[in-house]
Amino acid sequence: MFTSNPFAELSASIPPAAMQAYVVIMIVLVAAGTLFDVVHKGSAKYFFRNMRKAKAKDAQPVGGGELVSIAVHTAVVDVLASGEFCSARRRIAHLLGMYGFVLYVASTLVMVFNASAGALWAQLWWIGGLMVCLGGYWFWFFIRVDVAAEGNSPFRVVRADLFILSLLASVTLGLVWAWMQASGSAGAMAVFGLYILATTVLFAGVPWSKFAHMFFKPAAAFEKRMSYADGSRSNLPAPADKPERFGSAREQPRHY
């Protein structure tokens, strides 16, 4: 089960071309939804407006070496290590979900477009899916701010929860479907239908969910670090009981 390509087995019922076309459509939906989100929320205007403000304040020029250093710090600290989270539990849950999602999506693409993909890709698919479930369910039931701090029910749902719920539903149903298919269960195709429905909601719901944030956050983190480096953003001194963290160029944003 953990070493066989579930999509190759599915090809007995659904043509591989149909599966590949579906994947392409989902990619197009993500791209279109992200562009719509940028236009609708004015994200691009926000960054350009901040750049103009920095020039208006006679910001100090940032040299090429310092620019590279800021870019590296942004990639390593803010993107790869999720340095914006001050809570260790929340950061771990986020990293599990992020890297699990990357493994899950990458291995899905390989197995859908290459039916002869080896056992390694099937194993990565399972590992990635389980990482998403571990990080996602841990976050949903134990870490969410409105649950942990405000005492709300873990089953309380608002529109901002669309991304995490559709992601968990898609990955969970995908793993259940693969397990049922491998065991020869009669209900496997019904679960597969629910899996496709949840996956469609996940990728088609980009304009109404937080999916697009994964593209905006690196740009926002880079812009923030640049504004501290060129002096265009005032920076308050660190609290006496908080150590300086994540040092970079001249002054760095602090994540407390």
Residue range 86-109: mean pLDDT, rounded = 91
Residue range 193-212: mean pLDDT, rounded = 88
pLDDT at 85 over 90: no
Portion of the chain with pLDDT greater than 90, in percent: 43
The H or E element containing residue 201 is helix 188-204
Higher pLDDT, 44 or 121: 121
Say what the pLDDT of residue 175 is. 97
Residue range 125-142: mean pLDDT, rounded = 94
Say what the pLDDT of residue 81 is. 72
CATH of 6-48+81-220, one of 1.20.950, 1.10.3470, 2.60.40, 1.20.120: 1.20.950
CA distances from 219 to 70, 99, 137, 148, 252 (A): 12, 19, 28, 29, 15
The H or E element containing residue 24 is helix 16-41
Model confidence band, residue 177 (pLDDT cutoffs 50, 70, 90):
very high
> How many other CB atoms are found less than 10 A from the CB of residue 179?
16
What b/e readout covers 105-125, taking b as 16+ CB neighbours within 10 angstroms?
bebbebbbeeeebeeebbebb
- pLDDT tens across 178-191, in order? 999 999 998 999 99
Instruction: Say which residue the tokens 């195709």 belong to.
Output: 189
- pLDDT tens across 118-132, in order? 899 999 999 999 999
CA-to-CA distance for 201 and 8, rounded, in angstroms?
A: 24
Question: Any idea which of 36-45, 112-121, 161-170, 201-210 has the lowest mean pLDDT?
Answer: 36-45
Higher pLDDT, 151 or 140: 140
